[in-house]
Structure 1
Amino acid sequence: MSEQQRRAAGRERSDHGFDPAERLQDREARGLHRDIAPVERVAARSRMAPDPKAEPPTFEGEELSIFAANNYLGLADHERVQAAAAEAAREVGTGAGASRLVTGDTPPHRALERELAETKHTERALAFSSGYAANVGTIAALAPDVVFSDELNHASIIDGCRQAGAETVVYDHCDPEDLRAQMEARAAAPVGDESWLVLTDSVFSMDGDVAPLTAICDVVEEFGAWLMVDEAHATGLYDDGGGIVQREGLSDRVHVQMGTLSKALASQGGYVAGSDPLIEHLLNAARSFVFSTGLAPPAAAAAREALRVARESGRRDQLWATVDRLRDGLEDMGYDVWGETQILPVVVGDRSDAVALDDRLRDHGIVAPAIRPPTVPEGTSRIRVAPMATHTDEDIDRCLDAFRAAGEDLGLL
């Protein structure tokens, strides 16, 4: 039998391949298919293009006001941040070239980590190639026996728990009393000498609310566990460029502080801040650090300069003024706006209403995404409004006018 005949016979016997087209059809049928819409530049205003698939994007029409990015301080196009990245590229190189344990550890990495540790009031910090890698690698490297995780924690925390192979106990969202009850139940039926890790975001990315960290610290200390806090949506926005941990004065009570460099710090990457032994352990045991090329030096330099701008300038005050004006304006119209941070979830309930509102806002020149199940629970579909410090009064007026007109057109107001 020829090779061609053997292959044909094998195909007749079974099919062990994949059918991406069928999976896409299923996703489309469930209303979960998404496109990638290219943006011309990362700023408060930009043109966008329809998803060109494999072709180059074509940017046409007027600029849109972008209320969909996590570039909260508007630093992605800041001249100091761009200059720092360019200088690092010239002096060090455009890429790290290897794992940092080999030859990929450069002066921009070390300078960034020193300033992160200073900002987070810790002994040391460690930069990862992404926030996702920081969460997954850290949780797995700590290898807890049991994790207690807020029910609305980010997907990277959930995946970190899976990588760690830990028994995961989910507690009610932002509820330290339920956390205590779960820990009491576990303590009542001990299984040897277990290590416990409590995991929570500080600012939750879809609801815009804040974890009650002081009360959570009290519970964690009562049971002698460790606490890890994800400050992805808080880093750079609070006291001296810190996060909620710093705002609440809890730096010495949180064992592991994690965050990203890709949101308010307008770069790429993630970090973990904590004690010297913790960082030394992670750089040896976190697989997403050990077996990954180091963060690009220009990204490290850009993040460091963005942190400096966040600490020195009035960008944070500008952001909070914009947030207050948008929240007040939306609530005065009659919209239900959740949260207490720079993330403004405008909750409309029905998924079709949220998608229609997204489309109408786009018609009025506003980009603010509809968030619907399974990302959020049924009945809580919403528009997630994320303002930047660089939005002008004209941008804010344009946004509020768009919400008013779209809401009236759709019968939501």
Structure 2
Amino acid sequence: MADRGFDLKARIETLEANDLKRALSPVDRVAERGYFAEPSGSELPVLEAAEALVFASNNYLGLTDDQRVQDAARQAAATVGTGAGASRLVTGDTMVHRDLERALAEVKGTDRALAFSSGYAANVGTITALEPDVVFSDELNHASIIDGCRLADAETVVYDHCDAASLRSNLEERADRATQAGREPADESWLIVTDSVFSMDGTVAPLRAICDAAEEHGAWVMVDEAHATGLYANGGGVVQAEGLEERVQIQMGTLSKALASQGGYVAGSDELIECLINDARAFVFSTGLAPPAAAAASEALHVARHSDAREKLWANVTHLRDGLESMGFEVWGDSQILPVVVGDRMDAMTLAEGICERDVVAPAIRPPTVPEGTSRLRVAPMATHDRDDVIDCLEAFRAAGEETGLL
């Protein structure tokens, strides 16, 4: 009988042959420094390496080991429970969830917010629930946005990265096509979706120009603030920094990055949230966010709003960017994410290994995650790195760059 299964061994061998096989390297804690274990497969990992500085985390404000955030999670576990126990439409809706959503809506300047079990679920759930006829999507949008468009069976028009002129051109072309076909453009529902901060390039979307183009054509705008929530004005994102709350219909974000927890959220009008509660399958058919995660995110949002953590982060970003550029490295982006672009994948991996040997973690990002010829080290400081940590990171880059001939 024919074997109709899957040749997984061959798949793994192909990955290895193309230098694309990834592995898990556990760390003892999520913080600005930690001990990493070598990849161990199914065996228990052994922490034998020296302590390393971590400049590769999305824990931008360094709040995962903040005592206030940890205490909030402990209290929620003790008083509410460790898990929601069911979909929130059944019995999994708690006061902890409502407190988090109230705080998110206040920060985002919206009527309401809704917490999902992950950021991925929030994007997929929202796009599929809206069922847009056409989605205009930035070419570097996150995979969850791309998958949401596919699952919604929407016609997807991809515009050039962070290029409002390209978006406008695509909107005009689509409107002309509708007119030539004898249809009114208003017969179709149009959704423009973009990240605000792009995770691999560190670029920031031109949201004001995107809103201008959207309003000229009656389209809605959805902004993914996953890598911005908590870091900008009053603990908000780029939408808040630019004062665009009234012009962006859907604000999405995560709780798993600067807010040091797990999960995602969508913020918008009362009508939007009611529709998602009823129509977003990723919400309806998922167990509610664990109460300790919701409580941790709520406290982290409070800390982001009412402490100097954001100012410390941006000071570290400036120090690190200036230092890397002064050495001669090419650093992309306009955000807290600093891609040090090397180009060749093997050069990037060699540089990352050299930095790791000097006890600094900043892994290489290579194709297919990024385009050929743009391999880079994605460097991301935290608010909890002190000045000496940043200097140690810069010195590791200098020594490794000179050793590899990249400087």
TM-score bracket, normalised by the shorter chain, equals: over 0.9
1:132 equivalent to 2:120? Answer yes
Residue among 273, 292, 301 paired with 1:298: 292
**AA paired with 2:392?**
R
1:202 equivalent to 2:202? Answer no
- Cα distance in 1 for partners of 2:7, 2:272 equals 44
- Cα distance in 2 for partners of 1:51, 1:139 equals 37
1:352 equivalent to 2:346? Answer yes
Normalising by structure 2, we get a TM-score of 0.98
**AA paired with 1:93?**
G
Residue in 2 that maps onto 1:371: 365
Q: How does 1:2-401 map to 2 (within 5 A)?
A: 11=1, 14-190=2-178, 192=183, 193-401=187-395
- Cα distance in 2 for partners of 1:216, 1:30 equals 39
**AA paired with 2:162?**
C
**AA paired with 1:326?**
L
Gaps of 5+ in 2: none
- Cα distance in 1 for partners of 2:393, 2:345 equals 21
Superposed CA offset, 1:384-407 (max 9, x none): 001000011221111000000000
Name the SS for the 2:43 alignment partner. Answer: coil
**How far did 1:369 drift?**
1.1
**How far did 1:55 drift?**
1.5
Pick which of 392-401 and 380-389 moved more: 392-401
Gaps of 5+ in 1: 1-10
Superposed CA offset, 1:81-115 (max 9, x none): 00000000000000000000000000110000000
Superposed CA offset, 1:243-290 (max 9, x none): 000000000100000000000000000000000000000011111100
Do the aligned residues in 1 keep the contact of 2:102 with 2:113 (CA within 8 Å)? Answer: yes
**How far did 1:52 drift?**
1.5
Name the SS for the 2:221 alignment partner. Answer: strand
Structure showing greater Rg? 1
- Cα distance in 2 for partners of 1:257, 1:188 equals 29
Name the SS for the 2:209 alignment partner. Answer: helix
Superposed CA offset, 1:162-213 (max 9, x none): 1100000000011111111111111111164110000000000011010000
For the aligned residue pairs, the C-alpha RMSD in angstroms reads 0.7
Pick which of 19-28 and 359-368 moved more: 19-28
**AA paired with 2:136?**
F
**How far did 1:61 drift?**
3.2
Superposed CA offset, 1:366-393 (max 9, x none): 0001011111111111000010000112
Name the SS for the 1:65 alignment partner. Answer: strand
Q: Percent identity?
A: 69
Residue in 2 that maps onto 1:4: none
- Cα distance in 1 for partners of 2:143, 2:125 equals 13
**AA paired with 2:324?**
L
**AA paired with 2:260?**
A
- Cα distance in 2 for partners of 1:410, 1:117 equals 49
- Cα distance in 2 for partners of 1:353, 1:279 equals 47
- Cα distance in 1 for partners of 2:7, 2:97 equals 42
Pick which of 380-389 and 190-199 moved more: 190-199
- Cα distance in 2 for partners of 1:234, 1:178 equals 24
Name the SS for the 1:204 alignment partner. Answer: coil
- Cα distance in 1 for partners of 2:67, 2:252 equals 27
- Cα distance in 2 for partners of 1:22, 1:283 equals 43
Name the SS for the 1:198 alignment partner. Answer: strand
Name the SS for the 2:194 alignment partner. Answer: strand
Superposed CA offset, 1:112-165 (max 9, x none): 000000000000000000000000010000000000000000011000001100
Q: Which runs of 4+ in 1 moved over 4 A?
A: none
- Cα distance in 2 for partners of 1:31, 1:293 equals 38
